[in-house]
Structure 1
Amino acid sequence: MTTVQEQQTIQNVFQDRMDQDELLNCMRCGFCLPSCPTYITSGYKESHSPRGRIALMKAVVDGLIEPDEDFEQSLNQCLGCRACEPVCPSGVNYGHLLEEARDIINQNKKHSLPVRTVRKAVFEGLFPHQNRMRTMTGLLGFYQRSGLQKVARSTGVMKLFPESLATMERVLPKVPTMKEMKNRPEFLPAVAPKTNRVAFFTGCLMDTMFLETNNATMKLLQLAGCEIVIPQNQNCCGALHGHSGEKDGSKALAKKNIKAFEDLNVDYIITNAGGCGAFLVDYDHLLKDDPEWKDRAKDFKDKIKDITQILYEVDFHKKVKLELPYQIVTYQDSCHLRNVMKTSAAPRALLQAIERIDYTEMKDADRCCGSAGIYNIVESEMSMQILDYKMEQTKATHASTVVTANPGCLLQMKLGIEREGLSEKMRAVHIVDLLMEAVQE
């Protein structure tokens, strides 16, 4: 709970730091309302809509309300999916306002000791250090392979955890060994006529827990005629920090990544995680007030491209035979891939090029699944309500394969499938892995 003094400090910093032109840019027209999952799921509460949250931010700046617990909860309930931005006639950069507001609150309130400890461990001790990410993943691998997982499940230990977390444990992928995670190439040649020289942003979770998807991504790029540079000194994109009120941490990570990639002489920097890609293309905004880095950030941002987009642009789906056994396939958009990176047609075109499958478009495929980074952990109730709606639409497609393009979405859809008891009839898969299955070499 924030004290009166903390609220006053937060209000003062809001007045100094919030972009008042952007706040005034919102016309209160309501075009954003039908696109906002929390507004709909909450029973149409105005305070849970983009328009309502902007109004609350403006009221804090104007001194009309205090930045109390209700105000903070309204911001915390936001998924940050940014579905409101493409439909806004004024072009309000809602995501930038939300991140700035969260950072101001987080940096000017005193968290409890347990919260401070967890935040420090996660944001300073874990994600900025890829070697520690590998160690954590290695421990998870030991848990899975040593028999501890079977013991935990058979003895009912998992029942001590919240239902969503216990279910999430069942859908985690089989993680690679430490040796596999450390054995990473720095350069891979094209194996088809050369089309581009690219760099690959490996990510933190993607290059540990989802290592096989990264391997498949690089293989597809090679088949598409790309020679690939994989800088070893890259690190976490900083999205988790930026979305959680740790802006200084995200800036530090951004600068390391820009430095790692800027002298590689590549055409593009390729990502395979919508959430990472969306944060990477926002580096120019993140560092806009830093004279030394703002132009470098802009150059970096201009080279970011999702794996599906580059495959589509080089006609991979027309040059390489793609075929799978008959199955009904549907696609769940990654919010950030669609709303920030503006990539939605390419993944669909690639899927529809696979022979023998029946592609079926999902109703509201562009609505958030409720994952949103760690939202499904910290705002579990709302997340599960949003997932329930998503699973209704998924089941209506009669699909046996649900495809997405972001690790958080993938785990959330796996979670939904498990909760619905559909694990024997339906699977969730990253689009890269499905395309790799379909490649007929």
Structure 2
Amino acid sequence: MTTVKEREAIASEFAEKMNEDELLNCMRCGFCLPHCPTYIESGLKESYSPRGRIALMKAVTDGLIEPDEDVERSLSLCLGCRACEPVCPSGVKYGHLLEEARDIIHQNKDHSFPVKTIRKAVFSGLFPHQERMQNMTSLLGFYQRSGLQYIARKTGVLSMLPDHLATMEKVLPKVPTKSEMKKRPTDLPSIGPVLKKVAFFSGCLMDTMFLETNKATLKLLQLAGCEIVIPKSQACCGALHGHSGEKEGAKRLAKRNIEAFEADEVDYIITNAGGCGAFLIDYDHLLQDEPTWHERAIAFTNKLKDISEILVDLRFHEKTRLKLPAQTVTFQDSCHLRNVMNTSIAPRILLQAIEGIDFREMKDADRCCGSAGIYNIVESEMSMKILDTKMAHTKSTQADIVVTANPGCLLQMQLGIEREKMGDCTKAVHIADLLVEAAAL
């Protein structure tokens, strides 16, 4: 519960920092409503819609209401999927407003000691340091390989966890060893004539827990005719910080990444995680108040491309025979890849180019799956409601494979498959892994 002093500080910073023009851009037309998962799953509760949340932000900014627990709850429950933005006739940058509001609230709250400790450990102690990410992932690998996982499952220890977390433990990927993580190369030649020189954003979770998907991505880039550099000094993209009210931490990581990728002259900077790509492409907004860094951020963001986009641009699917055994495939959009990076056609072009598959479009494939970073942990009830709807649509496709392009979405879809007991007939995969498999046949 916030104190009077905290509410006063929050209200003062809302008035000082919130973008008044952006708040006024919202015409209250309601075009965003049918695209907002929390509005739909809450039973059409206005304060859980983008329009309603903007109204609350504006009211706090104007001093009409206090930034009380109800306001904070409304903003906390937002997935940040930004599905409202492409359908907004006024072009309101809702995601920017949301992150600014969350940052103001969290920076002016006196969190309890346990919360402070956890936030410091995660945002300052873990994600900015890739070696620590490797160490943490190595512990998970030890748990999986040592027999501890077998014992935990057999003894029923996992039943002490909330149902969705116990199920999530079952769908975690088999993680590599620390030595395998450290062996990842820093540059790779093209296979065949060099068409482009690219830098690869390897990410933190992608380069540890999902290392095999990163390897698949690099292989695809080589096959497409790319010479690849992987800057050693790059860091976490900062998305978790930016979405969780840790704006200054996000800025520090952004500057590290801009510096890291400026070192090499490349045509493009390639990402394979929708969530990372969307935050990276917003670096120019994040650093807009620092002129020198803002210019450098623009140069950085102008080079960003998702793996699917560059593969299509280089006509990889036309030059490489892609083939798989007969099966039905559907695609679940990464919200941030679609809504922020404006990438939705390229993945479908690539999937439909694979011989042997029957591609079936999923109903509301562009609607959030409920993962949203750590949302499925901190807001599990709403997350599972959204996932239940997503799985109903998945079932209707009768797909053997659900393809996505973001690690959080991948785990969430695997979680849904496990919850629905569909594991014998359906699996979820990252598009890079499927394409590498198809190219090898």
Q: Same fold (TM over 0.5)?
A: yes
Q: Any unmatched runs of 5+ in structure 2? A: none
Q: In structure 2, what residue type is equivalent to 1:235?
A: A
What is the correspondence of 1:352-391 to structure 2 with a 5 Å cutoff? 352-391=352-391
Match of 2:170 in 1: 170
Match of 2:243 in 1: 243
Residues 33-82 of structure 1, C-alpha deviation per residue, up to 9 Å, x if partnerless? 01000000000000000000000000001111110011000000000000
Q: In structure 1, what residue type is equivalent to 2:209?
A: M
Q: In structure 1, what residue type is equivalent to 2:79?
A: L
What is the correspondence of 1:19-418 to structure 2 with a 5 Å cutoff? 19-418=19-418
TM-score (norm 1): 1.00
Match of 2:432 in 1: 432
Identity of aligned residues (%): 73
Please state how far the C-alpha of 1:292 moved relative to its aligned partner.
Answer: 2.4
Tell me, what secondary structure is at the counterpart of 1:198?
Answer: strand
Please state how far the C-alpha of 1:291 moved relative to its aligned partner.
Answer: 2.0
Tell me, what secondary structure is at the counterpart of 2:423?
Answer: coil
Looking at structure 1, the residues matched to 219 and 400 of structure 2 have their Cα atoms a distance apart, in angstroms, of 25
Please state how far the C-alpha of 1:193 moved relative to its aligned partner.
Answer: 1.8
Looking at structure 2, the residues matched to 325 and 317 of structure 1 have their Cα atoms a distance apart, in angstroms, of 17
Please state how far the C-alpha of 1:259 moved relative to its aligned partner.
Answer: 0.1
Please state how far the C-alpha of 1:184 moved relative to its aligned partner.
Answer: 1.7
Residues 90-117 of structure 1, C-alpha deviation per residue, up to 9 Å, x if partnerless? 0000000000000000000111111111
- Structure 1 contact 329–403 (Cα < 8 Å) conserved: yes
Q: In structure 1, what residue type is equivalent to 2:325?
A: P
- Structure 1 contact 320–440 (Cα < 8 Å) conserved: no
Q: Which stretches of structure 1, 4 residues or longer, exceed 2 Å deviation after superposition?
A: none
Looking at structure 1, the residues matched to 62 and 289 of structure 2 have their Cα atoms a distance apart, in angstroms, of 24
- Structure 1 contact 33–49 (Cα < 8 Å) conserved: yes
Please state how far the C-alpha of 1:146 moved relative to its aligned partner.
Answer: 0.2
Looking at structure 2, the residues matched to 250 and 408 of structure 1 have their Cα atoms a distance apart, in angstroms, of 19
Looking at structure 1, the residues matched to 393 and 192 of structure 2 have their Cα atoms a distance apart, in angstroms, of 39
Looking at structure 2, the residues matched to 240 and 57 of structure 1 have their Cα atoms a distance apart, in angstroms, of 22
Q: In structure 1, what residue type is equivalent to 2:153?
A: R
Looking at structure 2, the residues matched to 386 and 407 of structure 1 have their Cα atoms a distance apart, in angstroms, of 17
Please state how far the C-alpha of 1:194 moved relative to its aligned partner.
Answer: 1.4
Looking at structure 2, the residues matched to 356 and 193 of structure 1 have their Cα atoms a distance apart, in angstroms, of 29
Residues 253-272 of structure 1, C-alpha deviation per residue, up to 9 Å, x if partnerless? 00000000013100000000
Looking at structure 1, the residues matched to 99 and 139 of structure 2 have their Cα atoms a distance apart, in angstroms, of 32
TM-score (norm 2): 1.00
Tell me, what secondary structure is at the counterpart of 2:142?
Answer: helix
Please state how far the C-alpha of 1:12 moved relative to its aligned partner.
Answer: 0.3
Looking at structure 2, the residues matched to 187 and 399 of structure 1 have their Cα atoms a distance apart, in angstroms, of 37
Looking at structure 2, the residues matched to 194 and 352 of structure 1 have their Cα atoms a distance apart, in angstroms, of 26
Looking at structure 2, the residues matched to 233 and 407 of structure 1 have their Cα atoms a distance apart, in angstroms, of 22
Q: Any unmatched runs of 5+ in structure 1? A: none
Tell me, what secondary structure is at the counterpart of 2:414?
Answer: helix
Q: In structure 2, what residue type is equivalent to 1:84?
A: C
